[in-house]
Amino acid sequence: MELTSRAMNTTPPPPLAISARQVNKVFNPNGAQQVIALQDINLEIPAGEFVSLIGPSGCGKSTLLRLIADLIHPTNGELLVNGQQPEEARKHRDYGFVFQSATLYDWRTVIRNVQLPLEIMGYAPQERKRRAQEMLELVELGKFGNHYPWQLSGGMQQRVSIARALAFDPSILLMDEPFGALDEFTRERMNLELLRIWYRTHKTIVFVTHSISEAVFLSNRVVIMSPRPGRITRIVDITLPYPRSFETRETETYFQKVIEVRELLREAHALDEADETPEVGQ
């Protein structure tokens, strides 16, 4: 529905979920170890879009995600999340965050992990249970509610953490290399799962990854970043139609896009003349 109306251009363009204007982030601004993590970041993400941030270690992609999440604060520049300051957006619970590790609480069963944000946000017990179960079914773990996290595999745990991030129905999903620790097969299956969830929920997704194929397969747009100082070097439109499937990975357009992103990343890396230094902001 939303997609067709947008395509027909009968409605005004969707509001911006995220807009960054000249955003800079400097760690230790007054110290000897001053590090420019992000420089002059300009990025607009319309609501409902799937955008990946990709780049080598130290390019600031995780830092940018954490700025959006208000886990750290920009040094200067204007950053808006759903038209508000990031802090307001966080307080309004506008986003769900998925970390690289599932970050489940060992002492809670799977379903009570999914209920955690709902408890904190003061949902009624019945509503908590209903939503948590619904979310577990969305990630196809409906039968595992009473298990403890350690009884699940890594991929299943990460699905629980996605269910938890979606439980309170935030409009934005921020994902920091969520499938980075998974093997290639599980990762590809999770990619399909995530796309399916995205079609159903119409969330805005900002997805940080190291994997070119993953970024191309998932996204509307891929943001290429380069390190020292961290900055955006190019944004690539991925013109592959949705819904995408396993076969999408075998099409000509897909290969072309993967090659394009890879070459842009290599150019970005060539710009990086400095020696290797440890990644900051992690």
Helix (H, G, I), strand (E, B) or coil at 97: strand
Distance CA 120, CA 3 (A): 34
**Could you tell me if 47 and 204 are in contact, meaning their C-beta atoms sit under 8 angstroms apart?**
yes
Structure tokens at 81: 């999340």
In the chain, the largest separation of any two C-alpha atoms, in whole Å, equals 57
Instruction: Report the residue from 96, 155, 227, 229 that binds another protein according to the rule CB under 8 A.
Output: 96
Instruction: Please work out the total of residues on this chain that contact another protein, with binding judged by CB under 8 A.
Output: 25
Among 78, 105, 237, 262, binds another protein (CB under 8 A): 105
Residues 61, 73: Cα–Cα separation, whole Å? 14
Residue 147 within binding range of another protein, rule CB under 8 A: yes
Q: Applying CB under 8 A, does 181 fall inside the site for another protein? A: no
Residues whose CB falls within 8 Å of the CB of residue 8, separated by 6 or more in sequence, listed in order: none
Q: Which of 16, 54, 74, 95 forms a contact with another protein (CB under 8 A)?
A: 95
One residue of 7, 150, 250, 275 binding another protein per CB under 8 A: 150
Place of tokens 């506008």: 94
Which window, 123-131, 145-153, 195-203, 208-216, contacts another protein (CB under 8 A)? 145-153
List CB contacts of 32: < 8 A, sequence separation 6 or more.
Answer: none
**What residue has token string 């999408």?**
248
Is the Cβ of residue 85 or residue 103 nearer to another protein in the bound state? Answer: 103
Q: Does 57 bind another protein (CB under 8 A)?
A: no
| Partners of 21 in the β-ladder | 78
Q: Which stretch binds another protein (CB under 8 A): 39-47, 146-154, 186-194, 247-255?
A: 146-154
Instruction: Decide whether 115 or 191 has the Cβ nearer to another protein.
Output: 115
With binding defined as CB under 8 A, does residue 129 bind another protein? Answer: no
Interface residues with another protein (CB under 8 A)? 69, 71, 90-91, 93, 95-97, 99, 101, 103, 105-108, 116-117, 119-121, 143, 147-148, 150-151
